[in-house]
């Protein structure tokens, strides 16, 4: 079943848009598509036309020490294909993290992109509503989930007066 999807994706998606289509290392029933960041919108449209129209979420991984990039993983699924998961992954430079928004193709992406913006500082082009959303009113530091920033230490210094234990020992 998964192998069929793998073959189908290999046949139907143009070769110049993707770098690699493979089975996931974690679970063998997930197909991973490695692409270049500029082809994201085309791939998203392709996947939607192929029936992968059930958008699940966006994940950002901060590879700060490894190669100074953000890795973005877009998760798609398909109801008509028995919940087959497809991960689209690519890397963008950490100094200039800009990527196209896909919120007009998948409505939930609008909120997932806000979340990734406020926790990692990834900027989504043509989004139009990037702001602090979950963190509004209770965080004024840099994006908290970045690896080069020790948010735990920052919280202790800012909100707890430098004490690990907020009460006298």
Selected from 152, 153, 158, 163, the binder of other proteins by CB under 8 A is 152
Question: Please, what's the b/e burial string for 23-59 (b: 16 or more CB within 10 A of its CB; e: otherwise)?
Answer: eeeeeeebbbbebeeebbbebbebbbebebebbeebe
Query: Which of 76, 69, 65, 66 has the alpha carbon at shortest distance from 32?
Result: 76
Selected from 75, 123, 130, 156, the binder of other proteins by CB under 8 A is 75
Q: Which stretch binds other proteins (CB under 8 A): 13-21, 35-43, 72-80, 92-100?
A: 72-80
Query: Which of 8, 106, 108 has the alpha carbon at shortest distance from 50?
Result: 8
Is 111 a binding residue for other proteins by CB under 8 A? The answer is yes
Selected from 41, 91, 144, 156, the binder of other proteins by CB under 8 A is 144
State the minimum distance, in angstroms, from the CB of residue 31 to other proteins. 13
What are the beta bridge partners of residue 34? 20, 89
Cα(27)–Cα(15) distance, rounded to whole angstroms? 25
The footprint of other proteins (CB under 8 A) covers 24-27, 29-30, 53-57, 59, 61-62, 73, 75, 79, 82-83, 85, 106-108, 110-112, 119, 133-138, 144-145, 151-152, 164-165, 167, 169
């Amino acid at each position: 079943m998964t192998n069929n999807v793998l073959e189908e994706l290999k046949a139907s998606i143009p070769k110049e848009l993707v770098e690699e289509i493979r089975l996931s290392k974690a679970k063998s029933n997930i197909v991973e598509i490695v692409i270049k960041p500029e082809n994201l919108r085309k791939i998203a449209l392709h996947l939607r036309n192929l029936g992968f129209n059930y958008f699940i979420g966006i994940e950002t991984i901060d590879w700060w020490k490894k190669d100074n990039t953000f890795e973005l993983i877009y998760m798609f699924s398909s109801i008509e294909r028995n919940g087959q998961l497809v991960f689209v992954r690519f890397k963008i430079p950490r100094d200039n993290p800009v990527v196209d928004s896909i919120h007009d193709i998948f409505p939930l992406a609008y909120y997932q992109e806000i979340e990734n913006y406020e926790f990692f500082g990834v900027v989504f082009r043509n989004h139009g509503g990037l702001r602090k959303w979950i963190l509004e009113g209770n965080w004024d530091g840099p994006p908290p989930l970045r690896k080069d920033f020790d948010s735990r230490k920052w919280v202790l210094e800012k909100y707890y007066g430098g004490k690990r234990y907020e009460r006298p020992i």
